[in-house]
Structure 1
Amino acid sequence: MADDQAPAAPLAASLLAPFQGEPPPAPAWFDAAIAQAPERAMIPVEGANIELLTWGEIGKPGLLILHGNGAHADWWSFIAPYFAKDWRVAAISWSGMGDSDWRDAYSAELFAAEIFAAVEVAGLEAGGVKPIVVGHSFGGFPTLYCAARHPERLRGAIMVDSSIQPPEKRWKGPPPRSGQGARVYPTLEEALTRFRLAPPQPCENLYIADFIARRSLKAVEGGWTWKFDPDLWHNFRMPDLGRLLPEIACPAALMWGERSNLMHAETLDYMIEQMPKDVLLLPIPDADHHVMIDQPLAFVAGLRGLLAAWA
């Protein structure tokens, strides 16, 4: 995520400025993972073209992985290859994010339509079993919506550090940005220096931050700007997520980073109390909110364990 769409907070130091536009060195596992490039397509969903990335063979069990706010499908390009041997894996960029089209209005129903369109086009049910959906942060909210309102269409649903606070503590969202437009930076190097994680947190794996940041930007007249719709939250509608928690009606799990500043004990207690008692719980040690960036291989191992429970 970039600082342009983060809640008001003191700006963290630039993650990528010390590299002056050059990619930071990366370990061999990361280079090997991103070398397994996905197939890319655009699929029409309710009047918008949605970016779809796929890995693995059609006919294997389906796994759909969903990114958070202001992010894009390539947040999973170093994770998905670890599942492509045994799964047909797909990732989308939500409308208003990544290379997907922007909409005049966004809703839980539209995001659910994007989920199930991806399931169909990617062939995630071609093996004769329902797909499992994994959503990080904001991506966990449409995942929850589908687990409550369309449980018959899922084999399982996993929310990853998707914070739903008690009603009296809920964040009301960023102020409307209508009419402000997106910031334009004259060079890619300058734009990269503006990339920050939201909410703010430390980042040790800067090669992942760089990989994500480069794919968060697009060239426009005058320079570079972020791909996400700056007015998305101004035109967004989602039902009360707290009321959806007890309505989960398919196998489900909650993962979170043990250091996450969005998953305090009060929030976890509330969510666990509201959810069905058979929801699986998996904290990831030494991880903040962006679990797949902080502990990518531990995240892969944890997700593999959850998937094996539903095999």
Structure 2
Amino acid sequence: MNDTAPSPRRQALLASLAGGRPSAPDWFRQALAAAPERSFTEVAGARIETLTWGERGKPGLLFLHGNGAHADWWSFIAPFFSNEYRCTALSWSGMGGSDRRERYSFDIFVEEAMTVAKATGLFDGSAKPVFIGHSFGGFPIIQAAARHGERLGGGIIIDTPIFSPERRRERKEKGAAWVMRPHKIYPTLEDALQRFRLVPAQPCENLFIADFIARTSLTQVETPEESGWTWRFDPYLWRDYEWEDPAPALSAPQCPLAVLLGARSTLMQAGDIARMRSILPTGTPVIDIPEAYHHVPIDQPLALVAALRAVLAGWASASASGENTPMNNGLA
């Protein structure tokens, strides 16, 4: 798929498959075969869906998904790290298989991340855990780095939309905010799959990943009026949500940070990236992932794995040597 293809905003990514599964490469099938242990972690009165790979006692990695997504967005990424790390992925409350809440906040999402990390053994090893978040998942990492950074080995944010308050208002006025209305119930799984879209809209070449994401984003439901398939996230999650400017926390992390960007993402504009760079501590790595749009784990999963490994190796080397380098933001 290329930039001259029909607008992905009008495109049903999986329509041509008619409910069938596309062929997938060996690496993807092997990653999914390394199935996680599935459980729930209680956090502030809600059960949080929790996936884990690897042995307790190894260095910890916590994988955090974006808006409207779920823990299985990492099921084909985390296994690449499970031999050397204890890996955990969670579904935020209101998303995936986690419970819904009456109200949501950055405070509760930070609490979910820290509690799940502790409960699944990410703090058990001698090395401090690293938090990795895509899109919205980067915001709780920024807050955790500022509030609890002395307990973390670092935070890596992937194409997180770090907008100014003015830019966020501008996007909201243009209708970029999610429309809050009840989910439609589709009579069959095939009908639901054909409605799957990526938000923000973009081309997608890896239909085998899009199909996996779509299937794991749906749940079967039955009401007195109808039965069928619908999406596994709270459509009213953002109704009372108060967004915070991430700049204060981003400028004062208490652990190393790194930023990965989709080189072809349209979410962050040049001015947004320049502002972000001016806020970040000096020496914070900002790395483009070539040929990736906003949904980097779908677009360039293997390049993302390589970039994450490079950042983690750099931090581990600096920590082992006790170096006071720009990569670790001056923190020994």
Q: Would you call these one fold, judging by a TM-score over 0.5?
A: yes
Distance in 2 of aligned mates of 1:210 and 1:175: 22
Distance in 1 of aligned mates of 2:99 and 2:53: 22
5 Å-filtered alignment, 1:133-144, equals 133-144=131-142
Deviation at 1:167, TM superposition (A): 3.2
| Cα-Cα RMSD | 1.4
Percent of residue pairs bearing the same amino acid type: 54
Q: Deviations over 1:63-87 (max 9, x none)?
A: 0010000000000000000000100
1:267 — aligned with what? 272
Deviation at 1:127, TM superposition (A): 1.0
Match of 2:198, SS state, is coil
Q: Which residue, 239, 243, 246 being the options, matches 2:248? A: 243
Deviation at 1:11, TM superposition (A): 3.4
Aligned amino acid, residue 228 of structure 2? G
Distance in 2 of aligned mates of 1:181 and 1:291: 28
After superposition, the Cα gap between the structure-2 partners of 1:22 and 1:176, relative to the gap in structure 1 and judged at 3 Å, is closer
Q: Which runs of 5+ in 2 are unaligned?
A: 1-6, 317-332
Match of 1:266, SS state, is helix
Distance in 1 of aligned mates of 2:209 and 2:190: 16
User: Which one scores higher on RCO, CA 8 angstroms, separation ≥ 6?
Assistant: 1
2:218 — aligned with what? 217
Q: Deviations over 1:1-58 (max 9, x none)?
A: xxxxxxxx98321011111111111011100110000000011100100000000111
Does the 8 A contact of 2:165 with 2:245 survive in 1?
A: no
Match of 2:272, SS state, is helix
Match of 1:15, SS state, is coil
1:97 — aligned with what? 95
Aligned amino acid, residue 257 of structure 1? G
1:152 — aligned with what? 150
1:193 — aligned with what? 194
Deviation at 1:175, TM superposition (A): 5.9
Moved more, 63-72 or 122-131: 122-131
Deviation at 1:176, TM superposition (A): 6.0
Distance in 2 of aligned mates of 1:53 and 1:213: 18
Q: How many pairs align?
A: 301
Deviation at 1:310, TM superposition (A): 1.1
Distance in 1 of aligned mates of 2:243 and 2:39: 27
Does the 8 A contact of 1:242 with 1:274 survive in 2?
A: yes
Distance in 2 of aligned mates of 1:282 and 1:72: 25
Q: Which residue, 127, 130, 147 being the options, matches 2:128? A: 130
5 Å-filtered alignment, 1:40-51, equals 40-51=38-49
Does the 8 A contact of 1:176 with 1:233 survive in 2?
A: no
2:17 — aligned with what? 19
1:76 — aligned with what? 74
Does the 8 A contact of 1:54 with 1:91 survive in 2?
A: yes
Does the 8 A contact of 1:104 with 1:235 survive in 2?
A: no
Match of 1:235, SS state, is coil
Q: What is the TM-score with the length of structure 1 in the denominator?
A: 0.94
Match of 2:102, SS state, is coil
Does the 8 A contact of 1:256 with 1:284 survive in 2?
A: yes
The question of 1:277 aligning with 2:275 is answered no
Aligned amino acid, residue 14 of structure 1? A
After superposition, the Cα gap between the structure-2 partners of 1:54 and 1:15, relative to the gap in structure 1 and judged at 3 Å, is same
Match of 2:251, SS state, is helix
Match of 1:190, SS state, is helix
Deviation at 1:113, TM superposition (A): 0.9
Aligned amino acid, residue 210 of structure 1? D
After superposition, the Cα gap between the structure-2 partners of 1:21 and 1:90, relative to the gap in structure 1 and judged at 3 Å, is same
Moved more, 71-80 or 237-246: 237-246
Aligned amino acid, residue 44 of structure 1? E
Aligned amino acid, residue 269 of structure 2? H
